[in-house]
Structure 1
């Protein structure tokens, strides 16, 4: 069973732990494990969308195998494979860590190899910060919530809690770093065109920001950077459509122009014959 911390939204796999026992998140929040929901009802098949009884093991419409699980936030029943909870809208594909209460190994710094990142709760966002190089690691859902709330209090609070360091050494270590959760190499990519920030991303777990990069990203988002990128992309698409339309009109005009061999199959045939005769003549001259 996967549960979500009500404080910072971190997720944990608590399979096998009895309901009613207390779990303690890394952010300090303590919460009881719920009883699984047992009521029956109709659920949507995650493959075809058909309405199927929760007790069914296969979809009546498409034959897909069905497995019932609980939403990590509201604990309502849902089929395995669904991306969002139909009751609360929660994104259920966000990965979970090992069980809480210290069972999981501490995250190490992927940049300078400091053995343990320090967890810090800011508003409802859990930041894992390196005390040596000042880099910050964010879970996937934490970064998404900051960006989604870029006009609100959450982003402003996180920005205030992560001020830019005035004198920062250049981050040392390999250009490509490994994910603190799964130890696989993270992908380096530009956060967004115009942001000036290259981030390290593990699609399954989270994003690493070197010192000063997270405040820069938040400021970029709060100042409308993402909206500006979207407008530029729309304009580029519109320009491409106009250019394609103009090219089609030009081609049609050339096709209909008098004397155009492409528009006159007879002229095209005669032109081909003349070219063939000319080539034969050149070959005859060269053979002499």
Structure 2
């Protein structure tokens, strides 16, 4: 984490340490992860890549659901990142988000760093409508245990409030997404084992029930035979 050049406190994703600080806003956008950095930064504070040519924003037809202003769109090979200059919210295409997470995870594996101290985010529960289709987005804790609550539209992407995307990328860099995938694999394997045990238990129960039914039927037949033998002896 960088420190504020004016007061020395840790800065957040916007380049400020606290609301009243007059330190510079982060204005230089990384072309690798799209995180904003302070004007004097040589490398991205998010992914560590050297800052060079900034990605060029394109005008976008979609409006921010919160602010009603047009997004600035950043185009990558795998999709679009739409950024609201007013509130800092971002709508990220699913394919682009996967690419960003995979690259950040690879960087963390090559040059591991300790998990970052969580920055302040607005934790109030609210429901966001997708800027593209207008439908309510599904809120979820990304990767199950990241602590980063995002809003997802199945068709159009993931919505991040200001500062949430850098936190999620830092989570990936520290190995969080890899651990979440491994946990999912283990959970699915455990579910398959439990289902197999349940099927085997049901099969054995069915076999035992059939055997018990046959034993009961045979006992009834034996009783009838004994009764017929008794009647035959009496009548004879």
Normalised TM-score (structure 1): 0.43
Name the one with the larger helix percent.
Answer: 2
Normalised TM-score (structure 2)? 0.50
